[in-house]
C-alpha cells in the first residue's frame, strides 16, 4: 500500500474502530496504515489490540514487531522473538503468513517475504531470506518481460548482453535511483558526481521516479553529470532495455531494497556489472548484483563472506558519501568566525546528531 492510499484509508478505519473496538480486521488495518505512514508509536495500540483479538494473526505480528523496532520497544520486542523466528524459518522454506506458497505468489503483489533486519536472526538466515526475495523478483521480472514480448536468454536475462571485460576509453558509470529529489539520499550525494575524474569516467544518472518540481536537488545533480535520463514512466522490463541501450560498464543501484526500487529491471541483468551502493547496506542476495560498495567497518571481510552474496568493493575510510560542505559550509564558516565552534576542555557531555550540523555541549 502506498503512503497516499494509506492516508486515505486512515479515516474510515479509525471510524470502524470507534464503532466496534472488537473488530479485529479494523484494528489490524489501522495499525498497518499507521505503520505505512511511519507513525510507528501510534500504530502499536491498534496492532496490540488486533493481536489480543486474534493471537494467530502473524501478518499483524510482523508489522507490530517492526513498530517495536522503530520505537526502541526492546522489552516488548524480546517477547515476540520466538514466534517471529519461527515465521522466519518457515518463510525461508517457502511458507509465508501472507501467501500459502511462495511459488504461487500473485505477481501483482510486492515481495512475499518479511523484513529481515531483526537483530536476533543469524547472518545465514538473513542471506537465505534475501536469496528467496531475489528469486521472487527474478521470476516476476521474467514474467513481465515475456508479457511485453521482450527477448530473453535461457538464463532469464536480456539478450545481447556483453560480458564484463577490459574497457578502452572512458568507463561509463550509471547511477540509478528513485530518490533524485528532496530525499535524504540526494542530500548526501548531490555533490558527489562532480568529483568523478571526467578524463576517466562518463557519468550518467537514471531517475526512476518523478521529479518533485520546485526543489533544488534534481537540477543540482543534472548540472554535475554528463547525462541525466528520466525513466519514471517505463515499465521494469522496458527500463532494463533502456539501461542496456546506454551500453554502460557499471550500474550503481542507489536504492537497494527500499521504497521505489526496481528489482525486476535489475534481475534481467541489463549491465554486466551491477552494484548495491549507498542506500541499503544489507545483502540483496541476488546473482544479478555482483558487488556492494562498502568499507571495512560496515562490511568486515568475515561478515561479507558469511552474510552477503555480493563481493565487497571497499572504499577508503567510508563508503558513505555526503554533501555537508555544500549544505552547511556557510554555517560552518560563520560559526567558526563567531567563536561558536571551539574545542571541548575538561569534563563534558556531548549530544550530537551525526546526520545534522549541530551539537550541544553541557559542561
Last residue of a domain, one of 121, 150, 185: 121
115 within a domain of the structure (yes/no): yes
242 within a domain of the structure (yes/no): yes
CA dihedral 44, 50, 55, 57 (to 10 degrees): -90
Is the domain of 342 the same as that of 263? Answer: no
Grid cell digits, residue 252: 550503481
Any idea what the Cα angle at residue 217 is, between residues 212 and 218, rounded to 5°? 65
99 pLDDT higher than 60 = no
Query: Where residue 46 sits, what CATH number does that domain have?
Result: 1.25.40.10
Q: Poorest-confidence range of 24-28, 104-108, 217-221, 327-331?
A: 104-108
139 within a domain of the structure (yes/no): no
**356 contact partners, CB below 8 Å, separation of at least 6:** none
Any idea what the Cα angle at residue 26 is, between residues 21 and 30, rounded to 5°? 105
**Residue 330 binned pLDDT confidence (cut-offs 50, 70, 90):** low
Kindly calculate the radius of gyration of the chain based on its CA atoms and give it in whole angstroms.
23
Is the domain of 199 the same as that of 306? Answer: yes
As to burial, measured by CB atoms within 10 angstroms (0-12 exposed, 13-18 middle, 19+ buried), residue 1 is middle
Query: Where residue 296 sits, what CATH number does that domain have?
Result: 3.40.50.11380
Are the C-beta atoms of 237 and 148 separated by less than 8 Å?
A: yes
Is the domain of 207 the same as that of 248? Answer: yes
Is the domain of 112 the same as that of 12? Answer: yes
Q: Return the pLDDT at 303.
A: 87
pTM of the predicted structure, to 2 decimals: 0.71
Is the domain of 201 the same as that of 230? Answer: yes
Is the domain of 350 the same as that of 309? Answer: no
Q: Mapping DSSP to helix (H, G, I), strand (E, B) and coil, where does residue 177 land? A: strand
Q: Poorest-confidence range of 57-66, 119-128, 187-196, 203-212?
A: 119-128
Q: Return the pLDDT at 127.
A: 82
Q: Return the pLDDT at 114.
A: 43
Phi-psi region of 357 (alpha: psi -120 to 50; beta: other; left: phi over 0): beta
Among 106-110, 212-216, 250-254, the range with the most confident prediction by mean pLDDT is 250-254
Q: Mapping DSSP to helix (H, G, I), strand (E, B) and coil, where does residue 266 land? A: helix
Q: Quick one: DSSP state of residue 102?
A: G
Number of domains comprising the chain: 3
Mean pLDDT value of segment 2-7: 64
Is the domain of 268 the same as that of 338? Answer: no
Cα–chain-centroid distance for residue 26? Answer: 29
Is the domain of 335 the same as that of 265? Answer: no
**119 contact partners, CB below 8 Å, separation of at least 6:** none
Q: Return the pLDDT at 269.
A: 96
Structural domain of residue 79, as residue ranges? Answer: 3-121
Q: Quick one: DSSP state of residue 176?
A: E
Is the domain of 211 the same as that of 303? Answer: yes
Closest CA to 115 of 176, 172, 67: 67
Q: What is the pLDDT of residues 127-166, one digit of tens each?
A: 877 888 898 899 999 999 999 999 999 999 998 777 777 7
337 within a domain of the structure (yes/no): yes
Is the domain of 177 the same as that of 297? Answer: yes
Is the domain of 307 the same as that of 242? Answer: yes
HEC profile for 234-259? CCHHHHHHHHHHHCCCEEEECCCCCC
Say which residue the cell 547511477 belongs to.
175
Q: What is the pLDDT of residues 231-275, one digit of tens each?
A: 999 999 999 999 999 999 999 999 998 888 999 999 999 999 999
Grid cell digits, residue 113: 517475504
**167 contact partners, CB below 8 Å, separation of at least 6:** 249
Last residue of a domain, one of 121, 136, 152: 121
257 within a domain of the structure (yes/no): yes
165 within a domain of the structure (yes/no): no
159 within a domain of the structure (yes/no): no
Q: What is the pLDDT of residues 11-49, one digit of tens each?
A: 999 999 999 999 999 999 999 999 888 899 999 999 999
Q: Poorest-confidence range of 61-65, 127-131, 140-144, 206-210?
A: 127-131
Are the C-beta atoms of 248 and 173 separated by less than 8 Å?
A: yes
* CA–CA dist 136, 112 (Å, integer): 8
Is the domain of 286 the same as that of 216? Answer: yes
138 within a domain of the structure (yes/no): no
Amino acid at each position: 500500500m502506498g503512503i497516499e492510499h494509506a492516508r486515505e484509508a486512515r479515516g474510515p478505519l479509525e471510524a470502524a474502530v470507534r464503532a466496534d473496538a472488537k473488530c479485529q480486521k479494523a484494528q489490524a488495518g489501522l495499525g498497518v496504515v499507521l505503520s505505512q505512514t511511519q507513525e510507528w508509536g501510534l500504530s502499536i495500540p491498534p496492532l496490540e489490540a488486533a493481536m489480543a483479538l486474534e493471537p494467530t494473526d502473524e501478518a499483524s505480528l510482523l508489522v507490530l514487531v517492526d513498530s517495536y523496532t522503530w520505537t526502541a520497544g526492546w522489552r516488548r520486542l524480546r517477547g515476540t522473538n520466538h514466534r517471529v523466528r519461527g515465521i522466519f524459518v518457515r518463510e525461508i522454506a517457502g511458507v509465508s503468513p501472507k501467501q500459502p506458497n511462495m511459488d504461487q505468489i500473485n505477481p501483482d503483489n510486492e515481495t512475499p517475504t518479511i523484513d529481515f533486519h531483526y537483530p536476533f536472526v543469524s547472518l545465514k538466515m538473513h542471506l537465505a531470506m534475501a536469496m528467496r526475495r531475489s528469486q521472487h523478483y527474478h521470476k516476476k521480472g521474467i514474467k513481465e518481460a515475456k508479457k511485453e514480448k521482450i527477448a530473453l536468454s535461457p538464463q532469464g536475462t536480456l539478450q545481447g548482453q556483453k560480458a564484463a571485460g577490459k574497457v578502452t576509453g572512458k568507463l561509463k558509470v550509471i547511477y540509478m535511483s528513485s530518490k533524485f529529489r528532496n530525499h535524504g539520499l540526494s542530500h548526501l550525494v548531490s555533490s558527489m558526481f562532480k568529483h568523478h575524474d571526467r578524463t576517466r569516467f562518463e557519468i550518467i544518472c537514471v531517475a526512476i521516479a518523478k521529479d518533485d518540481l520546485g526543489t533544488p536537488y534534481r537540477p543540482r545533480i543534472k548540472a554535475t553529470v554528463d547525462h541525466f535520463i528520466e525513466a519514471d514512466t517505463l515499465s521494469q522490463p522496458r527500463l532494463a532495455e533502456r539501461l542496456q541501450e546506454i551500453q554502460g560498464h557499471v550500474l550503481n543501484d542507489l536504492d537497494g531494497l527500499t521504497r521505489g526500487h526496481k528489482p525486476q529491471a535489475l534481475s534481467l541483468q541489463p549491465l554486466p556489472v551491477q552494484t548495491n551502493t549507498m542506500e541499503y547496506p544489507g545483502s540483496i542476495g541476488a546473482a544479478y548484483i555482483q558487488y556492494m560498495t562498502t568499507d571495512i567497518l560496515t562490511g568486515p571481510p568475515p561478515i561479507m563472506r558469511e552474510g552477503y552474496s555480493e563481493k565487497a568493493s571497499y572504499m577508503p575510510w567510508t563508503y558513505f558519501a555526503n554533501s555537508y560542505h555544500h549544505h552547511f559550509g556557510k554555517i560552518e564558516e560563520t560559526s567558526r568566525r563567531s567563536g561558536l565552534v571551539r574545542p571541548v576542555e575538561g569534563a563534558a557531555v556531548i549530544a550530537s546528531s551525526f546526520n545534522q550540523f549541530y551539537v550541544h555541549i553541557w559542561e
